[in-house]
């Protein structure tokens, strides 16, 4: 496989105005196809710089993917830079121009002369129409480097992401006759640090150098994918064996495990979706009572469309008065045990079950910091309760890290406890 | 000023496991010092690749900042790669080794032989002790390129960020005798798109090529900084004039405007902090009632330590039963007007003021999508209400974009309305 090199064009990244998302998007999708990004550069939006960077990289025989710099403004000179470096001139594409005229007419806007550049395409190569914006994706085929392609994609993620997945990636797969995608098993962990997962998996994979591992880490959530090329003898069985061994002892932390062995495999779900599916199947509904997480868990649950089937809502009882008045936590409990206590979160779940009329309740109360800690209740100490009318479980954790980390871990731990209860009571 | 080049080392970035944060952190801090990042590369964690990349960049006379690859594992060979490229050998630093031994003793952990590498420092150059981890920062002074420095920093943000701000950046400033930082005025916009801000500011800055502009964009929040070198004639007055012109007609969207003209200037605040300060000064408290935002606003308000002074809590009334039972929205209103209506959000504010005993209330109800839209109430339609016992204001918006964008914009608009009410009623 030709090495793939990514070139991000944009002064906005180098000035700190925006944070790049494309490297991670493309890298993950390529990994799922058994391909890799060999390197990545961020450069300024200048024709000379685009041209020089491309010349250097073309000589190395790489597939070059460029993002950004295809807008209509005079600052965006990417396409001229690519034309110069590849020796592939641009031409007007009437079909693109017509589409542009129609698009602007519909929107009641006037085309400016600079929009003309957005109907230019390479004379050798192809282009991808943009269904979410005006700049098409461009593919240049430099005659001096017949193995290379330069693929230029628009910068805004909502234009790039669909164009990349639906047009550019399929183009690369067919042009370079990439082999079948590797078989993959994805395991999603909650409340388990990456280092513990790594410790467990390294020895398992030591005997299987043919299996590749990649991970995606979002604080208290870690996704691990193991992959093996489809034509390896017993590929599916080998992957299943490694997944089985990985899961031993970790069952309570892996909320999703999905095989991608061919078309028709189901999409991996997030923890909130797994919980929603379990609740939906039982016809039961959830409500939350949050103190230190301040609405984070409710926000997560409602990040997913369709959550209204299973989520009634929540009470953010940040102040103790609301724990008492809206959730019915007894004043005596608050006075004797304090807001961060087993008795309080227990009463918070009881209260939210009753007042929201929910089947399941989750409650969190802790010291998120950086202020508010005491020797008995230090920053990071969090009580969590989960339960239904039959039984409420409580647990206390001391989370390290800053306010954001404490809140994130609290939310993930609470949802993991709920998921386990739903699984165990099936 | 020497050009600055950033080299991010880590297979984790190229595989998609993590998203980089360092480019944005360093770029913003450097911009505030009047410096710029000329380019950035992401490379694999391999000694040869580190060495080759450095050799190429050293010849260009750049200051090279490397991040990552300083851990104790065998994969991390960055320091050897730098030593080879710069021709500056490494030596044992007994002070670092002693500190490492003590650190491990305190933690009750055993040092492994590979930890030895974390006490190595360049024979020409300096190093920065790591107060949040084990790998020191390293500065190499290559004798062949007396103008260059290679600064290697540890990868984890909680180690890099303080080391960069407290040690590496001051080192660069003094080594290269950077001029005084430019004067800066920062304006923070809510509910105003970057393109409208750009349209307004471009003509203002056209006459002042000496003023630089940089921005930071987070959906419905845009920060704009204008900067001018301190020794420019009337620098402060010029910046103030541009800021004054920018603000004309935009007063209601700029919630924070801060001059950084010298030490002792105050830290810019986020919208939530500005609101908290206004409420704190009045001795008043807020509660929220959220439907489609599902806890997002409560989460934002409680992102800030000390919010318990001014925030009582909230009711996430995702299901209509909770709007009725917990907030007292009349069943007749829900039946005749629907959950997404002026009457409903008005009643939600009334309800949360009463039930939480708050001085100020905010309510949001809308169609976040992608499902649930109708011809009368399409996806993106959101009703927002803000008020106190005297007066409740309502507004309806139709936000473009996906579920996340609709929810983000809804939250920012609601907070901006609250901020305006607090300012207007002062």
Instruction: Quote the tokens at residue A12.
Output: 């906005």
**Long-range pairs of B171-175 with CB within 8 A, sequence gap ≥ 24:** B171/B126, B171/B128, B171/B139, B172/B63, B173/B33, B175/B149
Which residues neighbour B420 within 8 Å (Cβ) at sequence distance 6 or greater?
A: B252
Give the separation between CA B198 and CA B216, rounded to whole angstroms: 12
Nearest Cα of chain A lies from the Cα of B188 at a distance, in angstroms, of 13
B305, B357, B402: residue with CB nearest A370: B305
Contact B379, B406 (CB under 8 A): yes
Residues A251 and A289 in one domain: no
Give the closest-approach CA distance of B37 to chain A in angstroms. 6
Contact B318 A302 (CB under 8 A): yes
* Residues A92, A200 within the same domain: no
Count interface pairs A-B at CB distance under 8 A: 237
B232 & B171 share domain: no
Q: CB count, 10 Å around CB of B91?
A: 12
Is A303 in contact with B404 (Cβ distance < 8 A)?
Answer: yes
Mutate to test the interface with A, among B182, B294, B382 (most CBs of A within 10 A): B294
Tens of pLDDT along chain A (426 residues) come to 789 999 999 888 998 888 999 999 999 999 889 899 999 999 998 889 999 999 999 988 889 999 988 776 555 678 899 999 999 999 999 999 999 899 888 888 888 777 888 899 999 999 999 998 888 999 999 999 999 999 999 998 889 999 999 999 999 999 999 998 999 999 999 999 888 898 899 899 998 999 998 888 888 999 999 999 999 999 999 999 999 999 999 999 999 999 999 877 788 999 999 999 999 999 999 999 999 999 999 999 999 999 999 999 999 999 999 999 999 999 999 999 999 999 999 999 999 999 999 999 999 999 999 999 999 999 999 999 999 999 999 999 999 889 999 999 999 999 999 999 999 998
Q: Based on the domain organization, do A230 and A131 belong to the same domain?
A: no
User: Which CATH number covers residue B414?
Assistant: 3.90.950.20
- Give yes or no for a contact between A382 and A340, defined as CB atoms under 8 angstroms apart: yes
pTM for the structure as a whole: 0.89
Residues B200 and B159 in one domain: no
Helix (H) / strand (E) containing A310: none
Q: Please check the confidence at residue B15 and state whether its pLDDT lies above 90.
A: no
Whether A237 and A298 share a structural domain:
no
In order of B73, B135, B200, B233, the CA distances from B114 in angstroms are 7, 12, 57, 56
Compute φ and ψ for B334, nearest 5 degrees: -60, -40
Quick one: tokens of B87? 């021709």
Q: Which of B158, B175, B192 is the last residue of a domain?
A: B175
Q: What is the mean pLDDT of residues B336-340?
A: 97
Total number of domains in chain B: 3
Q: Which residue of B has its CA nearest to A42?
A: B40
pLDDT for B46 equals 85
- Domain finish residue from A123, A143, A175: A175
**In whole angstroms, what is the distance from residue B137 CA to residue B22 CA?**
15
pLDDT at A275: 98
DSSP A126: E
Residue B218's pLDDT is 84
Tokens of A375: 């020797």
Of B387, B322, B340, B383, nearest in space to B361 by CA: B387
Which of A40, A301, A357 is opposite residue B41, by nearest beta carbon?
A40
Answer whether A294's CB lies under 8 Å from A407's CB. Answer: yes
The rounded distance, in Å, linking the Cα atoms of A417 and B7 is 41
Identify whether A370 is preceded by a cis peptide bond (ω within 30 of 0).
yes
Q: What is the rounded CA–CA span in Å between residue A156 and residue A174?
A: 25
Residue ranges making up the domain that contains A115: 4-175
Tell me the pLDDT band of B237, cut-offs 50, 70 and 90: very high
Please tell me whether residues A250 and A294 are part of one structural domain.
Answer: no
Q: Could you tell me if B122 and B23 lie in one domain?
A: yes
Is B419 within 8 Å of B361 (Cβ atoms)?
A: no
Residues of chain A neighbouring B24 (CB-CB closer than 8 A)? 13, 16, 18-19
Q: Which domain CATH number covers A32?
A: 3.40.980.10
A165 & A191 share domain: no
Partner residue opposite B371 with nearest CB, options A16, A305, A404? A305
Name the band, by pLDDT with cuts 50, 70 and 90, for residue B72.
low
Predicted complex ipTM? 0.89
Pick the residue of B5, B15, B41, B365 with the most A CBs within 10 A to test the interface with A by mutation: B15
Range B324-333 average pLDDT: 97
Query: Is the domain of B86 the same as that of B225?
Result: no
A139/B368 Cα distance (integer angstroms) = 36
3-class DSSP assignment, residue B201 = helix
Residue A221 phi/psi, 5° resolution? -125, 125
Task: Specify whether the CB–CB gap between A314 and A355 falls below 8 A.
Answer: no
Of B23, B41, B322, the CB nearest to A313: B322
- Regarding whether A253 and A108 lie in a shared domain, the answer is no
Question: What is the CA angle A14-A18-A21, rounded to 5?
Answer: 100
Q: Say if the Cβ atoms of A14 and B38 lie within 8 Å.
A: yes
Query: Domain boundary residue among A268, A302, A324?
Result: A268
Residue B73 near residue B103, CB atoms below 8 Å: no
Same domain membership, residue A167 and residue A192: no
Contact between chains at B15 and A25 (C-beta distance less than 8 A) = no
Query: C-alpha A224: how far from its chain's center?
Result: 13
A38–B44 CB contact, under 8 Å: yes
Give the CATH number, domain containing residue B229.
3.30.70.2860
d(CA A86, CA A79): 11
């Amino acid at each position: 496989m030709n090495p793939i090199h990514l070139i991000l064009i944009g002064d906005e990244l180098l000035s700190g105005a925006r944070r790049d998302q494309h490297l991670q998007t493309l890298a993950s999708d390529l990994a799922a196809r058994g391909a890799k990004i060999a390197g990545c550069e961020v450069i300024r939006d200048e024709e000379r710089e685009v041209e020089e960077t491309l010349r250097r990289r073309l000589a190395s025989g790489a597939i070059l993917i460029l993002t950004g710099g295809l807008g209509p403004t005079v600052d965006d000179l990417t396409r001229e830079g690519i034309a110069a470096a590849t020796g592939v001139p641009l031409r007007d594409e009437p079909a693109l121009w017509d589409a542009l005229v129609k698009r602007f007419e519909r929107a009641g806007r006037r085309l400016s002369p600079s929009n003309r550049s957005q109907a230019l395409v390479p004379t050798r190569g192809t282009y991808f129409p943009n269904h979410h914006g005006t700049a098409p994706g461009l593919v240049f085929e430099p005659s001096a480097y017949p193995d290379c392609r330069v693929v230029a994609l628009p910068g805004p993620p909502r234009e790039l992401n669909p164009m990349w997945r639906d047009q550019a990636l399929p183009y690369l797969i067919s042009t370079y006759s990439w082999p079948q995608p590797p078989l993959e098993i994805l395991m999603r962990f909650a409340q388990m640090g990456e280092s513990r997962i790594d410790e467990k998996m390294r020895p398992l994979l030591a005997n299987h150098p043919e299996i590749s591992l990649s991970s995606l880490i979002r604080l208290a959530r870690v996704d691990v994918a193991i992959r093996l090329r489809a034509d390896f003898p017993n590929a599916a069985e080998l992957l299943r064996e490694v997944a089985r061994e990985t899961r031993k002892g970790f069952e309570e932390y892996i909320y999703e495990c999905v095989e991608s062995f061919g078309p028709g495999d189901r999409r991996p779900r997030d923890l909130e979706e797994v919980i929603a599916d379990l609740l939906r199947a039982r016809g039961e509904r959830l409500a939350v009572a949050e103190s230190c997480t301040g609405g984070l868990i409710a926000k997560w649950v409602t990040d997913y469309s369709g959550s209204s089937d299973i989520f009634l809502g929540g009470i953010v009882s940040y102040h103790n008065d609301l724990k008492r008045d809206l959730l019915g936590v007894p004043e005596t409990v608050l006075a004797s045990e304090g807001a961060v206590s087993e008795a309080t979160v227990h009463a918070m779940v009881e209260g939210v079950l009753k007042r929201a009329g929910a089947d399941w309740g989750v409650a969190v109360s802790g010291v998120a910091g950086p202020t508010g800690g005491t020797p008995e209740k230090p920053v990071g100490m969090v009580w969590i309760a989960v339960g239904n009318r039959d039984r409420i479980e409580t647990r206390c954790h001391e989370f390290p890290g800053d306010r954001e980390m404490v809140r994130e871990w609290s939310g993930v731990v609470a949802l993991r406890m709920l998921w386990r209860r739903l699984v165990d009571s099936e």
